Amino acid sequence: MASSRPSRTRVGRYELGRTLGEGTFAKVKFARNVETGENVAIKILDKEKVLKHKMITQIKREISTMKLIRHPNVIRMFEVMASKTKIYIVLEFVTGGELFDKVASRGRLKEDEARKYFQQLINAVDYCHSRGVFHRDLKPENLLLDANGCLKVSDFGLSALPQQVREDGLLYTTCGTPNYVAPEVINNKGYDGAKADLWSCGVILFVLMAGYLPFEDANLTTLYKKIFKADFTCPPWFSSSAKKLIKRILDPNPVTRITAAEVIENDWFKKGYVPPKFELQDVSLADVDAIFNEAGDAALLVVEKRDERPAQPVTMNAFELISKSQGLNLSSLFEKQMGLVNRETRFTSKRPANEIISKIEEAATPLGFDVKKNNYKLKLQGEKTGRKGHLSVATEIFEVAPSLYMVEVRKAGGDTLEFHKFYKNLSTGLKDIVWRAEDETNGNLAGARALPPL
């Protein structure tokens, strides 16, 4: 491993690290507060894109509301900064991975454990509703765990705020993930954000206890029909009281569907229930107002400073490596069975980083993907328009030990099923660079085996 540290970017008092995820308008990066040593996640928004899509008012509302939310089961927002071209939202960084990694790796949870997480989820969602915030995209990858196993709801990127509710008290934007979305949201006739969120919570509870989805079909029309009818069956190992509660939550009629307040009073829910303890704090929105002030005080803007070093793959330290694993179980890091959580995967290689880059480019180009390189990162853009626009895939190479690299492949945009299909085809062209620990004993450093499944 080269002794020189790879280039790092500083924004204010934060040193930026690897990319944790990205979407149409933003990317999220791991970062460290150089003054306190605290690890955070920073959501970076492109000002030009935000202005182009007339989203300034919406994003200011969202940030203001999220700063006001202080709850032990909701990811905390610390501060907001801006440069001339970007907006930086500093968030709590949690290290326990996604809740659904537990289901993907261990199968279904026992009823008592599932109830504990469901209680925390309802606590968070009910609190946000009381502050006028509706999540609208509650799904597996938005439920994280901290180091103590405490559930944290994240990503209010699609949340609806009070100002988006029309005079009839309903929301009209269709969003969310099909398997978790309430029937009235798909119907596009207006919906109650609180009732729609509760439906998603019911689907999540079912998956935690069953190990599979209540509504599942490869054909979207058939899937929607099942959701409209609430066509699902609870497995025999659910207790009768759990079945009754789930059926009351997954009621296709939002008018008769159980409310969050009624869920909290339910006997099954109340078993072992400990209400959350937290203090309401005075929160300043001065930083939010400052970064969106069109007159703009230049002195308040931060500047991205890059500590330039020769280009090389990012060196991943032990903490970052652990944060990539499922909880603290490192055995699952390099052969992660994605199961229900399936928008990224990763593999290891003992080949030189330049060779890995070339192999990915060689494998992706014939599949109809335009390849853009930026040092040891690749952006693969599909030429064909898919179900949710063009499929976009990001890859990054990390050095985890001398001559051992971890390659992360994640969906940056487009449809997840199309990403699966692409990854399956891509893996055929990459199998000779993949390394597994057992290959050492077989004298096969090339690792001529398939990449890990999604």
Which is the catalytic residue, given 101, 112, 126, 137? 137
Decide the pairing of beta strands 8-11 and 304-307.
antiparallel
3-state secondary structure of 141: helix
Distance (Å, rounded) from C-alpha 222 to C-alpha 216?
Answer: 9
Residue 417 sits at φ, ψ, to 5 deg, of: -65, -40
**The one-letter amino acid at 42:** I
Q: Are 344 and 326 in contact (CB under 8 A)?
A: no
Q: What is the DSSP letter of 238?
A: S
**The one-letter amino acid at 30:** F
Active site annotation includes 137: yes
Residue by residue, DSSP assigns 299-326 as: GG---EEEE-----PEEP-HHHHHHTSB
Give the count of beta carbons closer than 10 Å to the beta carbon of residue 8: 16
Count how many residues are written for the chain: 454
Distance (Å, rounded) from C-alpha 178 to C-alpha 236?
Answer: 25
Q: What's the token pair of residue 33?
A: 């507060």
Q: Are 423 and 400 in contact (CB under 8 A)?
A: no
Q: What's the token pair of residue 171?
A: 């929301």
Q: Are 88 and 44 in contact (CB under 8 A)?
A: yes
Q: Which residues contact 29 (CB under 8 A, 6 or more apart)?
A: 16, 17, 18, 19, 20, 41, 42, 44
Report CA 325 to chain centroid distance, whole Å.
15
Query: Is 43 marked within a binding site?
Result: yes
Q: What is the DSSP letter of 378?
A: E
Residue 317 sits at φ, ψ, to 5 deg, of: -80, 175
Residues belonging to the binding site are 43
Name the residues annotated as catalytic. Answer: 137
Residues belonging to the binding site for ATP are 43
